[in-house]
Structure 1
Amino acid sequence: MTKLFITGATGYIGGDALATIYAAHPDFSYVALVRSTEKAEQVKTRFPNVRVVIGDLDNSALLERESAAADIVLHTADASDHVGAAKAIAAGLVAGHTKEKPGYWLHTGGTGILTFEDSDKGSYGNKSDKIYDDWDGVEELLNLPDHAFHRNVDKLVLDAAAKHADVLKLALVCPPTIYGRGRGPCSQRGRQVYELANVTLRLQKGPIIGSGQAIWNNVHIHDLSDVYALLVNAAVAGRDDDGIWGPKTYYLTENGEHRWGDLAKSTAEAAAKLGFIPEAKAEPIDLDSAKQYAGFESLSWGMNSRGRALRARKLLGWNPSSPSLLDELPQIVKSEWKRQQEQESDR
């Protein structure tokens, strides 16, 4: 029986990925790391066959033990930035597996790693023509500057995959802006676009950073979960095709891109059409003010993160088919309006 250990089952990415994999493989033995007994009950209610272990990402011994016992580790909980968790998972997979029975690591990064040039320049709202890819251009991804966002953890997991290639099979999944309603037991809400909708409703206008020309990739949460599911299938089948696993396996899981200024305008249009704001208006907002409303997420509205997801399409047959970001936008605005109403009623 295949054993799968997941972190982040109560989160947006992990919850939806678990829902997809659980539906396809109800016979697996599942273990989920959860931080509280309250959320553990929510996971158990949604996924009765999952064994829950209570702990957090600082519980290195627990992470090592469960990673050693698992055939597949799906790491989604703060995976791109928590150094200790990545070290513990790597150590567990190496300790618990052999060349004859390798361990598979589905690690979640993020395409924030591609924003370093904007950060370095302090440039927000300007277009970049630089487009990365995870196939012909993978060497560029492997040699990004050490100070790039998420780079420290990416290097750690890639180095582990190179050093222990026979026993640790890695796939580094890098989602961009994620949208769509999640199917997990707890968090079903994305971040960047949802905060954009939230701020649009609060300001009664779409917020534009700089000239609004910065571009970012996007993917529907269901299509992203399909990538994890396809990787799980490849692991179960023992596929070791060149390029599926290893220290060069970035998976940029995009299915299109958006210009942030245009998206701010479209969000305002959707909100006005739904009657939530008086008119479809989008105007510039300075970065400090944006951060007061949406924190760190607002920085991304002025940054570029552009890539092409070739690896998953070529090797896994990934064929994203969910509604586009623009098609989904009215539902996102509705969900944020409802969320604001609920928050108001709770005060």
Structure 2
Amino acid sequence: MAVKVFVTGVTGYVGGTVFDYVYNAHKDYEYTVLVRDEARAQLVKAKYPTVEVASGALEDTDVIEKAAAEADIVIHTADSSDHAISARAIAKGLKDGHTAEKPGYWLHLSGTAILTWYDQVNNRAGEGPHPEYIYNDLDGVDRMLSFPDDGIHRDVDKIIQGAASDAVKPTIICPPLIYGKGSGVGNQTSVQLPYLIEAGLSDGYVPVVKPGKTEWDHVDVHSLADLYVKLVDATQDPSKNSNPEIFGIRGFFFAASGTHSFLQLAEKVVSEIKKQGYSNKVTVKQYSLAELRELKGDNLIISTYAFSSRGEAQRAKKYLGWEPKGMSLAEGVTETVDILAKAKGL
């Protein structure tokens, strides 16, 4: 029998690229995708005519529970890091539809914004990472299982980890800043990097939180999608699918290829906008966090610029042989400036 896969977020940036990679790696699998309206369903069916569509939103728990119960693998990417209702529905569906003899696998997309918790609690806006709070996903995984409950994404991560059993085998994929043009049928650009570029193109400056030492890791979206393929492959590999270091509470994978400071990234954005001829006057401007929130609003994107998030990604290499091979962040800036500027008609 064909392996059955249920996917959410197929018209999103990460989910669309992940699905494209998994689909092309395993065209013999049977896919059901959650789509909330007919227009998006037609978009998906046009490129992937063999997929089945489950019509519904993330709040439609009966639809999600049924699809999860029937699937061998669930890939959850649609607002997955912060949407508790859909996470609980997937957990219930997998529990109801699987046994220890025929377990269900759950690949859940979270994010390394959770690693900003220490800086946020201690008001370290604009500062570099505290050396004791650079996390390692291999030897340091036990520390990652006890993040503070009020950390970003933590409430949903606990739902996934709490669902782990002999019948339900989850793993959490935790990427940092993601860049590169996606290959899905819907949104093909990310959030953090375009936010900086849009500011440079529209406002004439790229904002940075003083004193500009904030650091994050990063990964190309295609390298991230390749990690998902390796995890999907692992679900069907007897040498890996029962390994508690891959699937279960300890299945917590960072996905990073490098590290940057937001000041360095802002300077690269400014340089690239000038190099491509869209503005000669664009510059970097530094603000306090309070000033930036007053200027741009108080949202999660602003927090990612203000507080450091550092993790050492070693688990995927050891257990899955994953090596990020996508474009560099600098190349991603070049590509994204070109895409966004042309979209604005510049």
TM-score bracket for the superposition, by shorter chain length: over 0.9
1:265–1:280 Cα contact (<8 Å) kept: no
2-structure distance, mates of 1:95, 1:302: 42
What corresponds to 2:277 in structure 1? Answer: 275
CA shift at 1:203, angstroms?
2.0
Equivalent runs, 1:165-180 vs 2, <5 Å:
165-180=165-180
Q: Deviations over 1:29-51 (max 9, x none)?
A: 00000111001111111211111
Decide whether the 8 Å contact of 2:10 with 2:33 is kept in 1.
Answer: yes
Equivalent residue number for residue 306 of structure 2: 302
Counterpart position of 2:336: 332
For the pair 1:149 / 2:152, whether they are aligned, the reply is yes
| CA-CA distance at 1:286 after TM superposition | 4.3
| Number of aligned residue pairs | 339
Deviation of 1:287 after TM superposition, in Å, equals 3.6
Per the alignment, residue 160 of structure 1 pairs with 163
The CA deviation at 1:285 is 3.2
1:283 shift after superposition: 1.8
Residue 293 of structure 1 deviates from its aligned partner by 4.1
CA distance in 1, matches of 2:99, 2:72: 11
Deviation at 1:288, TM superposition (A): 5.2
CA distance in 1, matches of 2:278, 2:151: 38
Aligned-pair CA distance for 1:98: 1.0
Of 250, 253, 258, the residue aligned with 1:251 is 253
Mean Cα deviation higher: 67-76 or 44-53: 44-53
1:209 corresponds in structure 2 to 209
Secondary structure, aligned partner of 2:152: coil
- RMSD over aligned Cα atoms: 1.4
Where structure 2 has 5 or more consecutive residues not aligned to the other structure, the ranges are: none
**TM-score scaled by length of structure 1:** 0.94
Distance in 2, Cα, partners of 1:207 & 1:333: 16
Matches of 2:105 and 2:201, distance apart in 1: 43
Aligned twin of 2:99: 98
**Shift, 1:231, TM fit:** 0.5
Q: Distance in 2 between matches of 1:338 and 1:296?
A: 27
1:204–1:278 contact (8 Å) kept in structure 2: no
Separation (CA, whole Å) in 2 of partners of 1:288 and 1:61: 43
Percent identical across equivalent pairs? 37
Letter in 1 for 2:302: S
Query: Do structure 1's residue 315 and structure 2's residue 319 form an aligned pair?
Result: yes
Question: CA-to-partner distance for each residue in 1:283-317, whole Å, 9 max, x for gaps?
Answer: 21344564454753122112100001111100000
TM-score, with length taken from structure 2: 0.95
CA distance in 1, matches of 2:51, 2:288: 46
The answer (yes or no) to whether the contact 1:269–1:279 under 8 Å persists in 2 is no
Cross-structure match for 2:186: 186
Unaligned runs of 5+ in 1: 343-347
Instruction: Show CA shifts across 1:173-198 (max 9, x none).
Output: 00110000000000101010111111
Shift of 1:338: 1.9
